[in-house]
Structure 1
Amino acid sequence: MQSAVKPVIGPRKEVTDLTGRVAIVLGGALGIGYEISRAFVLNGARVIMVNRKEEQGDEAIKKIKKEAGDNANIEWIPCDMEDLKQTKETFTKIRSEEKRLDLLVLSAGINANQYSETNDGIDRHFQVNWLGQFYVCNLLYPMLRRTSKLPDTPAPRIVFLSSELHRATQKAVHFTSLDEINNPKMGPAELYGRSKLAIILGVKYGLLERVIKPNKDNIYALSVHPGAVNTAMQQQWKDAYPGITGKLITSAMLAVGRDVEQGSFSALYAATSPDIEERGWNGYYLTDPGEKGKESTQASDPHLGAALWNLSQQVLKGKLGDDAVIDWNAIA
């Protein structure tokens, strides 16, 4: 949990010139994602925001253009991370139409809540916070590889939003089967924590160790903790823990939380700071701009990371067919 002092002092904001670069921001029309989209546009990038609801996208574009001017290069595309088929169709289309991708920020997500399953029959936290966004990364990776080979182009970056609440994961988590994932006996914080643990593992022991290093790709992948942030997601604690407990947790989070713009700073740093390449911080988990996080023991377990990677691809193939996951060596 963030200290009450930190939201006032805040982490530093750092965004470099992004003229000519293309960014895709999942969850880009709301909360932290909106602030990331806004910062990218104000610094010259072309931005594609992806959210569920059209009114969210329309309102975000209106607000950003009011600040950046009508010529701001921003658009919105609908997609629901609870629908794997829709995810496949949406991002396959983007891959076929776009010429480059420099920045991929995966900030869609749900907060801790009661157990429920998506229409795909998967724990909602796991699918929205990890599996769906992992799949987006797979579908768009050929674009990142192509962009990385362009002359005079900074290394593309992939940034996932994780959380210090990855520490709330049950010790019995092994990522061995979908039956294990679909466990209605797990509490809201444990479900949420497991999905955020998956992000740290997936970045470090999946993308970095199983894709970027073997391919010798000039691409950086990171996960970040935004801090306790005063977004609408904090209200979900009331659904997660009905009654006085949920109200108390919500009040506590709002009392110590950062404002939404401050909540975007870690992701903006990971996505744009020259420090990342200069320090060789590939696969790292950051808790503030320039600050390496101290992962839990589970988040530092390469065997758990391998199991997650294998299970994630297995589930996608089981739900969408053997050709669902595209070749990580492909170039669009």
Structure 2
Amino acid sequence: MMWSTADVPDQHGRTALVTGGASGLGLETARVLAARGAHVVLACRDPGRGRAAASLIGGRTDVVPLDLASLASVREAARRVRDRYGRLDLLVNNAGVMFPPYRRTQDGFEPHFGVNHLGHFALTGLLLDLMREVPGSRVVTVSSLAHRLAVRGARPQEARAAAGHRSVVAYGRSKLANLMFARELQLRLEDTGAATASVAAHPGVSPTGLWENGAPAWLRPVSGVALRWLAQEPARAAVPLLRAATDPLVAGGSYLGPAGVAECAGGAVPARSARAARDGLARIRLWERSQELTGVSFG
């Protein structure tokens, strides 16, 4: 039987933080977690949209301002979470950008790499001590089918590249970095005996707000066909994220995605990853460079 949102276990007594929880996959993930009883924290760039989403979700739902394009904002958001909550059961690193209209983050990084990877890397490092001793706690990092486009690897040495805000390859590199980070984090959690597991997931193809800024002109015919014939609505696309976050049978280090053709749609099953994501030395180099760029150390 295919795993679905009906299989999400009871979440009462658990606190979950979802980045980008005001819309799309984040909103759907947060909605199901709250419906199952979790205390959900929406970490959103626009607090107004976050409050509107919290009202829609209901239950115990809070909002924390978070702009992943600013490491100062990441640190402030982490401080607020640490001040308000004594523990964290789930951290869902979901928010991201794709073909954004701006060229660099506030800290001078190429936007895909800076927001999608470095912002979440820093946030996780700043919050992890709220999770390490919590039984069943998990960090879920959202990757993408596009990670397979990064044939030359994550390229952290190009973190401050001037170009890339309209680059499919730059987006792919950031999503490869997400997957590499999730796997390296799992190994380090195991080495320290932490109770926390790190799991990755991808949603397949879904018409979320990431497409609002528009794909490059050459990609639009392809993306139009993909969204019309292969995509699934955000509620279904969030199922791999929810399984990664809540299914007790999913082991740390797993990577989940849709079960259908080319992993574009369908239920949540183990997903295929590019060879680059399994390169242990490259993961270590990415980790060390990410610590240098963010100033955040995991200890």
Q: Residues of 2 paired with 1:115 and 1:295: CA distance?
A: 29
State the structure with more CA Rg.
1
Per-residue CA deviations over 1:285-310 (Å, capped at 9, x if unaligned) read 11135522221111111111011000
Residues 35 and 260 in structure 1, CA contact (< 8 A), matched pair in contact too = yes
2:60 alignment partner in structure 1:
73
**Superposition deviation, residue 182 in structure 1:** 2.8
**Superposition deviation, residue 184 in structure 1:** 4.1
Alignment partner of 2:62: what SS?
Answer: strand
Identity %: 29
Per-residue CA deviations over 1:218-245 (Å, capped at 9, x if unaligned) read 2111110111012122233x2x414xx3
Partner residue of 1:254 out of 224, 227, 231: 227
Confirm whether residue 225 of structure 1 aligns to residue 202 of structure 2. Answer: yes
Shift in alpha-carbon separation, 1:174–1:58, aligned structure 2, 3 A: closer
2:11 alignment partner in structure 1:
18
Q: Residues of 1 paired with 2:279 and 2:285: CA distance?
A: 10
Alignment partner of 1:275: what SS?
Answer: coil
1:196 alignment partner in structure 2:
175
Shift in alpha-carbon separation, 1:263–1:303, aligned structure 2, 3 A: same
Q: Residues of 1 paired with 2:223 and 2:150: CA distance?
A: 20
Shift in alpha-carbon separation, 1:203–1:173, aligned structure 2, 3 A: closer
Matches within 5 A, 1:1-332: 12-13=4-5, 14-65=7-58, 72-113=59-100, 116-148=103-135, 155-171=136-152, 173-175=154-156, 177=157, 180-184=158-162, 188-205=167-184, 207-209=185-187, 211-236=188-213, 238=214, 240-242=215-217, 245-255=218-228, 256-276=230-250, 281-288=251-258, 291-317=269-295, 325-328=296-299
Shift in alpha-carbon separation, 1:35–1:313, aligned structure 2, 3 A: same
**Superposition deviation, residue 18 in structure 1:** 0.4
**Superposition deviation, residue 93 in structure 1:** 2.6
Shift in alpha-carbon separation, 1:313–1:188, aligned structure 2, 3 A: same
Q: Residues of 2 paired with 1:130 and 1:162: CA distance?
A: 10
Alignment partner of 1:25: what SS?
Answer: strand
What do you get for the CA RMSD once the two structures are aligned? 1.9
Per-residue CA deviations over 1:91-132 (Å, capped at 9, x if unaligned) read 023113311111111111012457721110001101111110
- TM-score normalized by the length of structure 2: 0.90
Residue type of the partner of 1:196?
Answer: K
Residue type of the partner of 2:121?
Answer: F
Shift in alpha-carbon separation, 1:285–1:193, aligned structure 2, 3 A: same
Shift in alpha-carbon separation, 1:79–1:115, aligned structure 2, 3 A: closer
Q: Residues of 2 paired with 1:218 and 1:173: CA distance?
A: 28
**Superposition deviation, residue 246 in structure 1:** 4.5
Q: Structure 2: 5+ residue runs without aligned partners?
A: 259-266
- TM-score normalized by the length of structure 1: 0.81
Q: Structure 1: 5+ residue runs without aligned partners?
A: 1-9, 66-71, 149-154, 318-324
Q: Residues of 2 paired with 1:136 and 1:48: CA distance?
A: 14
Shift in alpha-carbon separation, 1:128–1:199, aligned structure 2, 3 A: same
Alignment partner of 1:145: what SS?
Answer: coil
Alignment length (residue pairs):
287
Alignment partner of 1:291: what SS?
Answer: strand
**Superposition deviation, residue 185 in structure 1:** 5.4
Q: Residues of 2 paired with 1:327 and 1:189: CA distance?
A: 30
